Structure 1
Amino acid sequence: MKLIWATRGRTWGFRFLRNGGFADPLPEYDKVFSDIEDKREVWRRVGETAGLRFPDPLGRKDRAGRVIPHEFVVFGPLTDEITSVEDGRQRVWPLVANDFANYFELPKPPSANK
């Protein structure tokens, strides 16, 4: 599945952890999130892609006490299967939950992959 995933950890700032196969995922990310920066939860379809944002399902916080947000750009067939934030949380979160559990406490984030 092609997916861009951006988040932050306990001590490291906002980073792309999955790049969706793009050398630079920022332009694709900007297409879906450019005018919805302040919304805590979002599901938004833009053409053949969609943006999904929700707070960490386990309520994890960074060292400043802010709840960690997870932001995704979803591509392909999965985009058609999701119609809400809750659908996205149920379909997309299981794809990255174990990775985040391993990354959250690291002093530096891993490089974006996939």
Structure 2
Amino acid sequence: MTAQDLPKSLIWATRGRSWGFRFLLDGGQSDPLLDYERSFAHLEDEPTTWRRTAGKVALRFPDPLGRKDAAGRVIPHEFVVSGDLADEIESVEDGLQQIWPVVAGAYARVWDAEGPPSVADLGFTTQDS
């Protein structure tokens, strides 16, 4: 998986130190909320989770570096993984090993920004995919 594959394969929702919970990647959809809600249905209270449904994988884990928001809450990272990439994720550990290394640098650049980042701020493009 490369950074260029991410925009089409991942819905990524998280928050930063001072900006609220939002979608950083939308999986190439104009509105990723429906897929997100379907994938995480009945998993709202699980701080760490993995589930496969309808060819997609819901994946949630706390920030691997223990980063917290301004209120002191641990920052969760939530992903809806689709396509061939979803076939490779069979556990939270798989997600940490396969997805986190690709998004970690982008998140490190934006998590403590004053405002929410754009896809351009993250550095992911779809031009080469």
Bin the TM-score by the shorter chain.
Answer: over 0.9
**Per-residue deviation, 1:111:** 2.9
2:23 to 16, 22, 31: 16
CA contact (8 A) 1:16 1:112 kept: no
1:37 to 44, 48, 53: 44
CA contact (8 A) 1:42 1:85 kept: yes
**Per-residue deviation, 1:110:** 1.5
CA deviations 1:47-68 (Å, max 9, x no partner) are: 1111000000000000111110
Mapping for residues 66-77 of structure 1, pairs under 5 Å = 66-77=73-84
Structure 1 segments (4+ residues) deviating >2 Å: 111-114
Mapping for residues 1-114 of structure 1, pairs under 5 Å = 1=5, 2-112=9-119
CA contact (8 A) 2:12 2:79 kept: yes
**Structure 1 unaligned spans of 5+:** none
Superposition CA RMSD, Å: 1.2
The secondary structure found in structure 1 opposite 2:104 is helix
**Structure 2 unaligned spans of 5+:** none
Q: What TM-score does the superposition give when structure 2 sets the normalisation length?
A: 0.84
CA contact (8 A) 1:19 1:112 kept: no
CA deviations 1:80-103 (Å, max 9, x no partner) are: 111110111110101210110011
Q: What TM-score does the superposition give when structure 1 sets the normalisation length?
A: 0.95
CA contact (8 A) 2:57 2:89 kept: no
